[in-house]
Amino acid sequence: MVQFASSPNSQDNPAALQSSTAIRDILRQQRAFFETGKTQSYEFRLAQLKALKQAVLDHQTEILAALKADLSKPELEAYLTEIWVIKEINEAIKQLRSWMKPKSVPVPLEQFPAKARICPEPLGVVLIIGPWNYPFQLMISPLIGAIAAGNCALLKPSEIAPHTSRIVASLISKTFDPGYISVVEGGVEVSQAVLAEKFDHIFFTGGTAIGKIVMAAAAQHLTPVTLELGGKSPCIVDTEIQVEYAAKRIVWGKFINAGQTCIAPDYMLVDRRIKPALLEAMKTAVQEFYGEDPAQSPDYARIVSDRHFNRLIQFLHEGQVFVGGTHNAADRYIAPTILDQVPLNAAVMQEEIFGPILPIIEYEQIAEAIALIKSKSKPLALYIFSRDPQFQDRILQQTSSGGVCINDTIMHIATSSLPFGGVGESGIGSYHGKASFDTFSHYRSIMVKNFWFDVKLRYAPYAGKLGLFKRIIG
């Protein structure tokens, strides 16, 4: 995620001053561009979406190479989780006219004669700050909504994935007028300089701690925010499952991108009666996916940085290693790891892991699992594995989470008709599909009255009218 470490005051920091000046120049251009009204039309927005799609198609090779350099992402995995954003563009192109269409709404009889409608309007100039774990897709996906809704946008990719940051900057600069959409790259000074400016909306994807900083900065200008954060997403497993399928789906969802996924299962709560069979099936799935030595697998990613690697390896000693546990600092490799017999007070059960380590907690009664989930902050995702509808409903009714996926992991995020977002500390707001358009739009309420008739009851003098209004209300 974007890191906002402490840095010298901008008045004493030439780099910060340079960043601030450049960013203000970009924002002046973008506000001037927005004021021309160009972004308002359906034809303009459609053309920009098509241009974005073509740019992604034209730069696929470079995008995949950048993702390989930053995270050692396997090509197929990178394509399915990053280039796949083309599907979102296709949907926006297909649905744009209907999304933009004003919606007529009924008016009460006492407003007669009148008509009312709700019209989506662009917000203006928006800021999109992206993370490092899916550094291409999580920049472009919100941008689709910003374009569809008719905004200008400034993008700030994560400096922790520098190769992808550069390809995003290059792609955008070749495709769009910088007065319309632009990218700024850099580290702490750039992030701080961007957040010091006033935007009409800020869209941030990253960690909860940095989300608080973004929200505090936005509050200085009363700027609305969308925060896509994270947390400890639990995976609850009942006895009523198909063990092999459940094992494969959990292993895939946990270890894709080496566990560096905001909605990856963070810990597993498993009924003790099914635990031995499930763990053996998961061990088999790890071997089937990545071979006897995952370090040699072309299908397994790496940890993004030394700092993140060093944080993660501390967790390896907080339980009994059932699968994995090996690591190599030179390659930033941590094997797909399943930890059994993990104490509830261990650090791996307190922090979001964001890496290829899965703690296992067994339960006897589902009430125990629910109580543990409720003792923590509301997660971004919740996974339930069970054939039993009553089991599913009980968990749904007694817990809260940003989203839920039953009998699978991760895949709910790929369904654009489902808004994606968190609740509580896991996020504010949502996007994907029309929800992205809604996030970057203001829905303006408009009432139109006619002159051909005028109801005088509302006018003074009021004597004798109160009883009538009470009957209307009552």
Q: Name, in order, each residue with C-beta under 8 angstroms of 134's C-beta and a sequence gap of 6 or more.
A: 81, 82, 257, 261
The closest of 286, 362, 378 to 319, measured between CA atoms, is 362
Spatial contact of 277 and 241, defined as CB atoms under 8 Å apart: no
Q: Is 321 helix (H, G, I), strand (E, B) or coil?
A: strand
Distance from C-alpha of 204 to C-alpha of 215, rounded to nearest angstrom:
9
Spatial contact of 337 and 242, defined as CB atoms under 8 Å apart: no
Distance from C-alpha of 77 to C-alpha of 84, rounded to nearest angstrom:
10
**Count of CB atoms within 10 A of residue 18's CB?**
15
Encoded tokens for 178: 């910088």
Spatial contact of 254 and 358, defined as CB atoms under 8 Å apart: yes
Phi, psi of 308 (to 5 degrees): -70, -35
Distance from C-alpha of 422 to C-alpha of 436, rounded to nearest angstrom:
14
Encoded tokens for 233: 């997403």
Distance from C-alpha of 170 to C-alpha of 183, rounded to nearest angstrom:
9
- Beta bridge pairs of residue 120: 443
Distance from C-alpha of 88 to C-alpha of 79, rounded to nearest angstrom:
14
DSSP string spanning 211-250?
A: HHHHHHHHHTTT--EEEE-----EEEE-SSS-HHHHHHHH
Residue at 119: amino acid letter: C
Give the residue numbers marked as catalytic.
Answer: 228, 262
Distance from C-alpha of 144 to C-alpha of 141, rounded to nearest angstrom:
5
Distance from C-alpha of 377 to C-alpha of 296, rounded to nearest angstrom:
37
Instruction: Tell me how many degrees the CA angle 176-203-2 measures, rounded to the nearest 5.
Output: 95
Residue at 185: amino acid letter: E
